[in-house]
Structure 1
Amino acid sequence: MNQNVKLQRKISPVKTGGLIESIFRCKWSLTVLDLISNKINRPGEMVSCVEGLSTKVLNDCLRANIKFGILKKNSFPEIPPRVEYELTEFGSRFVEIIDQIQVLEDEKSK
Protein backbone atom coordinates (compact mmCIF):
# COMPACT_ATOMS: atom_id res chain seq x y z
CA MET A 1 0.00 0.00 0.00
CA ASN A 2 1.27 3.45 -0.88
CA GLN A 3 2.37 5.22 2.32
CA ASN A 4 1.46 8.59 0.85
CA VAL A 5 -2.21 7.67 0.63
CA LYS A 6 -4.09 8.72 3.71
CA LEU A 7 -7.30 6.81 4.29
CA GLN A 8 -10.21 8.81 5.57
CA ARG A 9 -13.42 7.55 7.01
CA LYS A 10 -16.27 8.57 4.72
CA ILE A 11 -19.04 8.51 7.31
CA SER A 12 -18.75 8.53 11.05
CA PRO A 13 -20.47 5.50 12.60
CA VAL A 14 -21.61 7.57 15.57
CA LYS A 15 -25.08 8.37 14.18
CA THR A 16 -25.73 4.82 12.96
CA GLY A 17 -24.18 3.35 16.08
CA GLY A 18 -26.42 5.51 18.25
CA LEU A 19 -29.55 4.25 16.51
CA ILE A 20 -28.51 0.62 16.74
CA GLU A 21 -27.32 0.86 20.33
CA SER A 22 -30.53 2.58 21.42
CA ILE A 23 -32.74 0.01 19.73
CA PHE A 24 -30.79 -3.00 20.93
CA ARG A 25 -30.17 -1.63 24.42
CA CYS A 26 -33.87 -2.15 25.08
CA LYS A 27 -34.22 -5.90 25.33
CA TRP A 28 -37.83 -5.65 24.16
CA SER A 29 -37.32 -3.67 20.93
CA LEU A 30 -36.81 -6.67 18.68
CA THR A 31 -39.78 -8.42 20.26
CA VAL A 32 -41.99 -5.35 19.75
CA LEU A 33 -40.87 -4.96 16.13
CA ASP A 34 -41.60 -8.63 15.54
CA LEU A 35 -45.08 -8.27 17.06
CA ILE A 36 -45.88 -5.25 14.90
CA SER A 37 -44.52 -7.02 11.81
CA ASN A 38 -46.98 -9.81 12.60
CA LYS A 39 -49.94 -7.38 12.88
CA ILE A 40 -50.06 -7.35 16.69
CA ASN A 41 -50.11 -3.58 16.90
CA ARG A 42 -52.18 -2.56 19.92
CA PRO A 43 -50.36 -2.03 23.24
CA GLY A 44 -52.74 -4.12 25.36
CA GLU A 45 -52.45 -6.99 22.93
CA MET A 46 -48.64 -6.72 22.95
CA VAL A 47 -48.45 -6.83 26.75
CA SER A 48 -50.75 -9.84 26.91
CA CYS A 49 -48.74 -11.70 24.22
CA VAL A 50 -45.34 -11.34 25.89
CA GLU A 51 -44.72 -12.61 29.39
CA GLY A 52 -42.70 -10.14 31.44
CA LEU A 53 -43.40 -7.10 29.26
CA SER A 54 -44.93 -4.32 31.34
CA THR A 55 -46.99 -1.42 30.03
CA LYS A 56 -44.37 1.11 31.21
CA VAL A 57 -41.49 -0.66 29.48
CA LEU A 58 -43.57 -1.14 26.34
CA ASN A 59 -44.45 2.56 26.24
CA ASP A 60 -40.78 3.51 26.66
CA CYS A 61 -39.84 1.12 23.86
CA LEU A 62 -42.58 2.40 21.55
CA ARG A 63 -41.60 6.02 22.25
CA ALA A 64 -37.95 5.32 21.37
CA ASN A 65 -38.90 3.59 18.14
CA ILE A 66 -41.14 6.50 17.17
CA LYS A 67 -38.29 8.92 17.92
CA PHE A 68 -36.01 7.04 15.53
CA GLY A 69 -38.68 6.97 12.82
CA ILE A 70 -39.14 3.20 12.94
CA LEU A 71 -42.73 3.25 14.18
CA LYS A 72 -45.73 5.47 13.64
CA LYS A 73 -48.51 5.89 16.21
CA ASN A 74 -52.10 5.98 15.01
CA SER A 75 -54.69 7.31 17.46
CA PHE A 76 -58.37 6.85 16.72
CA PRO A 77 -60.98 9.27 18.12
CA GLU A 78 -63.14 6.57 19.65
CA ILE A 79 -64.49 5.84 23.08
CA PRO A 80 -62.67 4.05 24.55
CA PRO A 81 -59.62 5.47 22.75
CA ARG A 82 -57.80 3.11 20.41
CA VAL A 83 -54.10 3.33 19.58
CA GLU A 84 -52.23 1.22 17.06
CA TYR A 85 -48.63 1.22 15.90
CA GLU A 86 -47.23 0.47 12.49
CA LEU A 87 -43.85 0.35 10.84
CA THR A 88 -42.86 3.40 8.82
CA GLU A 89 -41.22 2.90 5.43
CA PHE A 90 -37.88 3.33 7.18
CA GLY A 91 -39.01 0.85 9.86
CA SER A 92 -39.92 -1.75 7.24
CA ARG A 93 -36.46 -1.42 5.73
CA PHE A 94 -34.91 -1.63 9.21
CA VAL A 95 -36.83 -4.85 9.95
CA GLU A 96 -35.65 -6.31 6.62
CA ILE A 97 -32.05 -5.70 7.74
CA ILE A 98 -32.76 -7.36 11.09
CA ASP A 99 -34.23 -10.33 9.19
CA GLN A 100 -31.05 -10.53 7.09
CA ILE A 101 -28.96 -10.56 10.27
CA GLN A 102 -31.10 -13.46 11.52
CA VAL A 103 -30.39 -15.35 8.29
CA LEU A 104 -26.66 -14.82 8.84
CA GLU A 105 -26.98 -16.04 12.42
CA ASP A 106 -28.86 -19.14 11.24
CA GLU A 107 -26.17 -19.84 8.62
CA LYS A 108 -23.44 -19.52 11.25
CA SER A 109 -25.22 -22.02 13.48
CA LYS A 110 -25.28 -24.73 10.80
Structure 2
Amino acid sequence: MTYVVTENCIRCKYTDCVEVCPADCFHEGQNFLVINPETCIDCSLCAPECPADAIFADNQIPPDQAHFIELNAELAEVWPVITQTGQPLAEAEDWVDRGGKLQFLER
Protein backbone atom coordinates (compact mmCIF):
# COMPACT_ATOMS: atom_id res chain seq x y z
CA MET A 1 0.00 0.00 0.00
CA THR A 2 1.05 3.59 -0.57
CA TYR A 3 -0.32 7.02 0.17
CA VAL A 4 -1.56 9.28 -2.61
CA VAL A 5 -1.88 13.06 -2.94
CA THR A 6 -5.21 13.98 -4.55
CA GLU A 7 -6.85 16.94 -6.25
CA ASN A 8 -7.32 19.09 -3.17
CA CYS A 9 -3.56 19.79 -3.12
CA ILE A 10 -3.60 21.47 -6.54
CA ARG A 11 -3.07 25.24 -6.25
CA CYS A 12 -2.56 24.91 -2.49
CA LYS A 13 0.64 22.88 -2.05
CA TYR A 14 0.77 22.87 1.71
CA THR A 15 3.98 21.10 2.75
CA ASP A 16 3.22 20.16 6.36
CA CYS A 17 3.24 16.52 5.21
CA VAL A 18 6.80 16.69 3.91
CA GLU A 19 8.44 17.37 7.26
CA VAL A 20 7.04 14.23 8.90
CA CYS A 21 7.90 11.84 6.06
CA PRO A 22 10.71 9.50 7.15
CA ALA A 23 11.13 8.11 3.62
CA ASP A 24 11.53 11.39 1.69
CA CYS A 25 8.92 10.23 -0.79
CA PHE A 26 7.36 13.61 -1.65
CA HIS A 27 8.09 15.24 -5.00
CA GLU A 28 7.30 18.86 -5.84
CA GLY A 29 5.80 20.43 -8.92
CA GLN A 30 4.83 24.05 -9.52
CA ASN A 31 1.45 23.82 -7.82
CA PHE A 32 1.11 20.25 -6.54
CA LEU A 33 2.93 17.60 -4.53
CA VAL A 34 2.99 13.87 -5.22
CA ILE A 35 4.10 10.79 -3.32
CA ASN A 36 6.42 8.29 -4.93
CA PRO A 37 4.76 4.88 -4.51
CA GLU A 38 8.16 3.17 -4.83
CA THR A 39 9.59 4.90 -1.76
CA CYS A 40 6.47 5.35 0.40
CA ILE A 41 6.71 3.06 3.44
CA ASP A 42 3.03 3.29 4.38
CA CYS A 43 3.76 4.93 7.73
CA SER A 44 0.59 7.10 7.49
CA LEU A 45 2.27 10.08 9.17
CA CYS A 46 1.60 12.44 6.26
CA ALA A 47 -2.18 12.15 5.96
CA PRO A 48 -3.16 13.79 9.27
CA GLU A 49 -0.65 16.60 8.68
CA CYS A 50 -2.29 17.76 5.44
CA PRO A 51 -4.39 20.89 6.09
CA ALA A 52 -6.22 20.29 2.79
CA ASP A 53 -7.10 16.66 3.59
CA ALA A 54 -5.64 15.71 0.22
CA ILE A 55 -3.70 12.56 1.21
CA PHE A 56 -5.27 9.09 1.29
CA ALA A 57 -4.12 5.49 1.49
CA ASP A 58 -4.47 4.02 -2.00
CA ASN A 59 -7.06 1.53 -0.75
CA GLN A 60 -9.16 4.29 0.85
CA ILE A 61 -9.04 6.89 -1.88
CA PRO A 62 -12.40 8.34 -2.93
CA PRO A 63 -13.49 6.68 -6.21
CA ASP A 64 -13.53 9.96 -8.11
CA GLN A 65 -9.86 10.51 -7.14
CA ALA A 66 -8.55 7.04 -8.10
CA HIS A 67 -6.77 8.39 -11.20
CA PHE A 68 -4.41 10.23 -8.85
CA ILE A 69 -2.75 6.90 -7.99
CA GLU A 70 -1.26 6.73 -11.49
CA LEU A 71 -0.67 10.49 -11.62
CA ASN A 72 1.41 10.41 -8.42
CA ALA A 73 3.55 7.57 -9.80
CA GLU A 74 4.01 9.32 -13.16
CA LEU A 75 4.97 12.73 -11.78
CA ALA A 76 7.23 11.31 -9.05
CA GLU A 77 9.42 10.02 -11.89
CA VAL A 78 10.09 13.55 -13.20
CA TRP A 79 9.65 15.98 -10.31
CA PRO A 80 12.39 16.58 -7.72
CA VAL A 81 12.23 15.24 -4.18
CA ILE A 82 11.25 17.75 -1.51
CA THR A 83 12.39 17.18 2.08
CA GLN A 84 11.59 20.43 3.88
CA THR A 85 8.44 22.41 4.45
CA GLY A 86 7.89 25.64 2.60
CA GLN A 87 5.21 28.23 2.27
CA PRO A 88 1.93 27.18 0.65
CA LEU A 89 0.99 28.93 -2.55
CA ALA A 90 -0.28 32.47 -2.07
CA GLU A 91 -3.79 31.53 -3.19
CA ALA A 92 -3.97 28.33 -1.11
CA GLU A 93 -6.75 29.51 1.20
CA ASP A 94 -8.86 30.54 -1.78
CA TRP A 95 -8.40 27.18 -3.55
CA VAL A 96 -8.59 24.64 -0.74
CA ASP A 97 -11.73 22.48 -0.95
CA ARG A 98 -12.61 23.62 -4.48
CA GLY A 99 -13.43 20.83 -6.88
CA GLY A 100 -12.48 20.56 -10.53
CA LYS A 101 -8.86 21.63 -10.03
CA LEU A 102 -7.19 18.98 -12.18
CA GLN A 103 -7.33 21.34 -15.16
CA PHE A 104 -5.03 23.73 -13.24
CA LEU A 105 -2.29 21.16 -12.56
CA GLU A 106 1.01 22.46 -13.89
CA ARG A 107 3.22 19.67 -15.14
TM-score w.r.t. length of structure 1:
0.30
> Which structure would you say has the larger RCO, counting Cα contacts within 8 Å and 6 or more residues apart?
2
TM-score w.r.t. length of structure 2:
0.31
